[in-house]
Amino acid sequence: METFFRYNWIVREQWYTWCADLPPEELLRQRTGGAGSILKTFFHVIDVEWSWLQLLQGKPDEAEDFAHYQTLGAVRDLDRKLHLDVELFVRAWEPSMEKRAYIDRRTDGHVELAAWGEIVRHVIAHEIHHMGQLSVWARELGEEPVSANVIGKRLIQPD
Amino acid sequence: METFFRYNWIVREQWYTWCADLPPEELLRQRTGGAGSILKTFFHVIDVEWSWLQLLQGKPDEAEDFAHYQTLGAVRDLDRKLHLDVELFVRAWEPSMEKRAYIDRRTDGHVELAAWGEIVRHVIAHEIHHMGQLSVWARELGEEPVSANVIGKRLIQPD
């Protein structure tokens, strides 16, 4: 599980570097799909990752307001702050947690059970999905997107 | 590992159903990003999934030609055919394969080692990334994209 998280963190950093070369107004420009803008998509990815892992641990997950994070620097600072919690959880992940039940109480009173393994994979897939959206926006801007390759990032040392 | 593959296969089927409601010319229309069109993106995802798993097994991975797969039905038939090989490999996956070395011989004579665990994750992330691209194209068409949610697909039965 940790391998996929480390992949996402590497790719996210590469996208931040890519963003730093864009005119800042492009980061906030409204676009079709995703979370509506490049910067808001990063904010959303960071928020979803942290919030789900907080929920699993029964910890508070107060939603942040994107209005306070309107620059790349502010989003990266938030990411660095939340990452401390995220990384602790990911490093402590064990296969025995896969089937642990999470009780998902919906606002309509409806209750669903989900397995921790599903929620952790949701967090992983969520980010990859949104980075795919960014890659289309990059091409629309006439820019080369960040590679989504897992291979070549030295994530696992082969025997 | 199997959980992520099953997720991708469910989502892919949902996208096929989504595609069936589109005018056929939209499937082949050139778009920005991805593999250039909706149908070619599916073809590419199917091809990459199958080819990497064949390579790991030292089996032939003759590239198919997209020119022969210009309808949703033809792509789905190819998918069903290749899926037999893919599913056998995925079901036989064991954690002991994670660090097994794959020797990647590039056309320029350069040789790189990759771990099987990296390649299998590459295949998984590759599809999720491309489905993210489809979701932007769906919004550009004024359509609701298929959900990328992992939660709610009954992939793991919680304890």
- Across chain A, which has 159 residues, the per-10-residue mean pLDDT values are 97 98 96 97 98 96 92 98 98 97 88 96 98 98 97 96
Q: Can you give the pTM of this predicted structure?
A: 0.97
Interchain CB distance below 8 Å, A137 and B140: no
In terms of C-beta distances under 8 Å and separation of at least 24 residues, what long-range contacts does A73-80 make, across chains too? A75/A39, A75/A42, A75/A43, A75/A46, A76/A16, A78/A43, A78/A46, A79/A12, A79/A42, A79/A46
CATH of B2-140, one of 1.10.340.30, 3.30.1130.10, 3.30.1280.10, 1.20.120.450: 1.20.120.450
Interchain CB distance below 8 Å, A33 and B157: no
Residues of chain B in contact with residue A156, where contact means CB-CB under 8 angstroms, are: 98-99, 115, 117-118
Is B41 exposed, middle or buried, given 0-12, 13-18 or 19+ CB atoms closer than 10 A?
Answer: buried
Count of C-beta atoms within a 10 Å radius of residue A99: 14
If we measure between CA atoms, which residue out of B124, B125, B130, B47 comes closest to residue B82? B47
CB pairs A-B closer than 8 Å: 151
Domain range summary for chain A, segments of one domain joined by +: 2-140
**Tokens coding A95:** 């296969």
pLDDT digits (tens, 9 = 90+) for B67-115: 999 999 999 999 999 999 999 999 999 999 999 999 988 888 889 899 9
Which residue intervals of chain A are DSSP H helices? 2-20, 24-28, 38-56, 72-91, 116-140
pLDDT digits (tens, 9 = 90+) for B10-53: 999 999 999 999 999 999 999 999 999 999 999 999 999 999 99
Q: Are B5 and B124 in contact (CB under 8 A)?
A: yes
pLDDT of residue B145: 98
Interchain CB distance below 8 Å, A132 and B137: no
pLDDT band at B62 (very low <50, low <70, confident <90, very high): confident
